[in-house]
Amino acid sequence: METQNIYLPYLMQIDKVSEDAPFVKTFRLKFINPEDEANFSFQTGQFGEYSVAGVGESTFCIASSPTRKGYIECTFRKAGRVTTALSDLEEGNTIGFRGPYGNVFPIDEWKGKNLLFIAGGIALPPMRSVIWNCLDLRENFKDITILYGAKSVADLVYKHELREWDERPDVKLVTTVDPGGETHDWTGEVGFVPTILDKMAPKAENTIAIVCGPPIMIKYTFPILEKCGFADEMVYTTLENRMKCGFGKCGRCNVGKTYVCKDGPVFSLKQLKQMPDEY
């Protein structure tokens, strides 16, 4: 569709719905208009505005990898008004999508390096895009380690993909649940993500760490990475601030003079340390 209206979303059909954890769903979305699909491209780390007509828009990242063509995926937790409305939709429904917005994970710069992915809770989705992106270009990277934790076994998202990663010889997966969140047959770790990370004592040499999770987890994870010798420019994270437009106009998401929607959502720890505590 030819438009100059930056607010007009693409129409997307919900092609597949999966329920990944309590209140957490993943939609596979396909472009209704083939021209839109042809013109569309994105890179890992970017986000969009998903909308339900009559309800409104909500911001979250694209959870699929740009290497998988023909669709995009998004994962959201039913929380606010829009995510609640999204949750009620089924396969075949049409929703709106604007995007992609924001910067990207610099995976080209990561060539030849080890990758350490650290994710907590519902923050695996932004990570999933970059994980699959890197796995689809597996030969570009050395060791790939994924540490993923959630409150309980039930809260772990993408369980089938976790199994798939676990079975791959070229990926080391560590899963953990918070103390008390384990089931009797749980074989993974028990403990908070930073604690398990400490125990893993990852090597910092030639390694990029990518951290996504709730603010509290991130806050306790950075010092451990520092302790292991990770330099600030070797650590990446994504920020989530409230946004409405996605393109630097609505005035919500800025952290000091940094616009999360344009300069982010991907930041290195080095950048983050220069930003005020406004996120």
CA 43 to mean position of chain CA atoms = 12
Q: Which is nearer to other proteins, 9 or 194 (CB)?
A: 9
Q: Which is nearer to other proteins, 106 or 248 (CB)?
A: 248
Q: Which is nearer to other proteins, 3 or 187 (CB)?
A: 3
Beta-sheet strand order (sheet of 144-150): 189-190, 172-177, 144-150, 114-120, 207-212, 235-238, 266-268
Cα angle at 47 between 161 and 27, to 5 degrees? 45
Q: How far is the CB of 53 from other proteins (least distance, A)?
A: 5
Q: Are 43 and 104 in contact (CB under 8 A)?
A: yes
Q: What does residue 266 show for φ and ψ, rounded to 5 degrees?
A: -90, 125
| Torsional class of 267: left (φ above 0), alpha (ψ -120 to 50), beta (otherwise) | beta
Which residues would be at the binding site for other proteins (CB under 8 A)? 1, 3-9, 11, 51-57, 79-81, 83-84, 92-96, 215, 240-242, 244-245, 247-252, 254-257, 259, 262, 276, 278-279
Contacts of 29 (CB under 8 A, 6+ apart): 12, 13, 14, 15, 71, 72, 73, 74, 95, 97
Q: How far is the CB of 114 from other proteins (least distance, A)?
A: 32
Q: How far is the CB of 47 from other proteins (least distance, A)?
A: 15
Q: Which is nearer to other proteins, 77 or 128 (CB)?
A: 77
Q: How far is the CB of 1 from other proteins (least distance, A)?
A: 8
Q: Which is nearer to other proteins, 30 or 262 (CB)?
A: 262
Q: Which is nearer to other proteins, 203 or 252 (CB)?
A: 252
Taking every pair of C-alpha atoms in the chain, what is the biggest distance, in angstroms? 56
Q: How far is the CB of 272 from other proteins (least distance, A)?
A: 14
Q: Are 129 and 135 in contact (CB under 8 A)?
A: no
Q: How far is the CB of 41 from other proteins (least distance, A)?
A: 16
User: Whole-angstrom Cα distance, residue 250 to residue 214?
Assistant: 24
